[in-house]
Amino acid sequence: MKPRKIRSFVGDVWEQDIIPQLVDYIRIPNKSPAFDQDWAKNGHMKRAVDLIAGWCKAQPIEGLQVEVVELAGRTPLIYMEIPASGTGADGDTVMLYGHLDKQPEMVGWFEGLGPWQPVRKGDKLYGRGGADDGYAAFASLTAIRALREAGGSHARCVILIEGCEESGSYDLPHYIDHLKKRIGSPSLVVCLDSGCGNYDQLWCTTSLRGVIGGDLRVEVLTEGVHSGDASGIVPSSARVLRELLERLEDTKTGDVLPKSLHVKIPKERLQQAKLAGKVLGEQLWRRFPWAKGTRPMHKSLSELVLNRTWRPFVEVVGVDGIPSLEKAGNVLRPYTTAKLSVRIPPTADPDKCTETLAKVLTKKPLHGAKVTFTPEKVGGGWEAPALAPWLERACSNASNAFFRRPCVYMGEGGSIPFMGMLGEKFPQAQFMITGVLGPQSNAHGPNEFLHIPMGKKLTASVAVVLQEHYDRDRGAGGVAAARKKRAKKAGKKNKKKA
């Protein structure tokens, strides 16, 4: 198997086939069900599924099966199976994962760009969903094709492309259970929905933070009243809300105060954070669109990495009860509601963290104000199992072959609910979690783009990992060797009987 042949094949398919498909995909406003309750009626989900499934069915891969599975009342899922190539890989399975639903539009797109308006500028393809995560299905099958074209071999592969990841993947467990017998027990999971610290090397995700979303509501009146008449008598709901948030975080540092929302960071992750900080340098923080004069929360790069990946932090992502500036009158408002997004460490218990939040935020509020905390989105984090030597070698070989730089391991600050779910269902599996969401790619925000060279190199890297996974059990003590040993022993036993 020659990396040069893989690189050439992948590059051609991306330019001639994948990018045109992604252009069409970006045009489809297929917002996740959390942002489009009428998704089934509107038909955008079906359009996205038909586009991707149609392309997949047309791929010249021997034995490829593509099926759109639809459970009643749930978003559809594209399920694919590819039989093993080569010999000795029967009974072993690799699972590859992606999703096709999208985040909502957001405001702030540059002139000439838009969420449903695909635009290619040099190495970047702008538009919602191309990088998060429309490319995954195309890249997965192209990696398999490239490996076969280069004379390589792979184990049996199953590919899952779901339709509600951006809503928390609440439909996915039902499909995993529904397809359990067909999926089997994967020994490797490849997830193409994560990030990369830069576009210069392969990045593998070692952990993901969990998230707790919820509404914190403070009520002081049943209706608004004249502020001149009531201020000084009736407490401000905004001030009560501010005091509640100060219970949760240090206003000067942003550090989350309740100890039960923290975990002990493993030694290996501390070492990986130090290396990641060294590799990224100031690009770790310079990549963000800073307002003039604003500074990072810490001077140490490794501490910034740990803040982003292993420590809890709070953000107010929405506010209700406050009129826009042009509609604001001299009124003491009856309530203020803040929508909170609380990131929790990878190994923290999300249910216990939710209990802590509710207790801290609602206990004895100022002036006896009516306070409620309503959790609406709770998802646990995930930490990868210990890296098998073969997978570490595979990622290293792939990064050196296609990037000419070593592979780097780092946690991600976001959440992929699918990972924790799979970690529980397939505890024996190894995980390659990676993706194209790098500096300024701005997933979920305005001006989202896919870095095309990164997409190509990542696709080629997956091909190498599939080959190394196939080869891992072919030495002494491996699965294939054990299988041959059992067959030989059975043969001798049968011969003796004869």
DSSP string, 207-268: EE-EEEEEEEEEE--SS-EEHHHHBTTBPPHHHHHHHHHHHHB-TTT--B--GGG--PPPHH
pLDDT 10s digits, 153-188: 999 999 999 999 999 899 999 999 999 999 999 999
* pLDDT surpasses 50 at 486: no
Residue where a domain stops, chosen among 324, 349, 378: 378
Residue 154 lies in a domain: yes
List the Cα angle 74/77/83 in 5-degree steps. Answer: 150
Q: Do both 338 and 398 map to the same domain? A: no
Domain identity same for 429 and 447: yes
The mean pLDDT value for 68-73 works out to 97
Residue 480 belongs to a domain: no
Beta strands in 43-149 (DSSP E): 65-69, 77-82, 93-99, 119-121, 124-126
In terms of Cβ atoms closer than 10 Å to its own Cβ (0-12, 13-18, 19+), residue 11 is middle
Tell how strand 430-434 and strand 188-192 pair up: parallel
Predicted confidence (pLDDT) per residue in 241-275, tens digit = 999 999 999 999 999 999 999 999 999 999 999 99
Predicted pLDDT at 488: 52
- On the 0-12 / 13-18 / 19+ scale of CB atoms within 10 A, 67 is middle
498 — pLDDT class (breaks 50, 70, 90) = very low
Query: DSSP readout, 147-197?
Result: HHHTT----EEEEEEES-GGGT-TTHHHHHHHTHHHH---SEEEEE--B-S
Confidence (pLDDT) at 419: 84
pLDDT at 414 over 70: yes
Claim to verify: residue 125 and residue 137 sit in the same structural domain: yes
Co-location of 227 and 361 in the same domain? yes
Residue of 457, 406, 470 whose CA lies nearest to 3: 457
Do 341 and 466 share a domain, yes or no? no
For residue 350, give the CATH number of its domain. 3.30.70.360
Cβ proximity of 382 and 411 under 8 Å: no
> What percentage of the chain has pLDDT greater than the value 90?
89
Q: What's the mean pLDDT in 107-124? A: 97
Of the candidates 347, 378, 409, which is a domain's last residue? 378
User: What was the pLDDT predicted at 480?
Assistant: 45
pLDDT reported for residue 310: 98
Query: What does pLDDT average to over the chain?
Result: 93
Residue 120 inside a domain? The answer is: yes
| CATH number of the domain bearing residue 444 | 3.40.630.10
| Residue 82 belongs to a domain | yes
Total tally of structural domains belonging to the chain: 2
Same domain, 315 and 389: no
Q: What's the domain range around 171?
A: 3-208+381-471
State whether 369 and 408 are in the same domain.
no
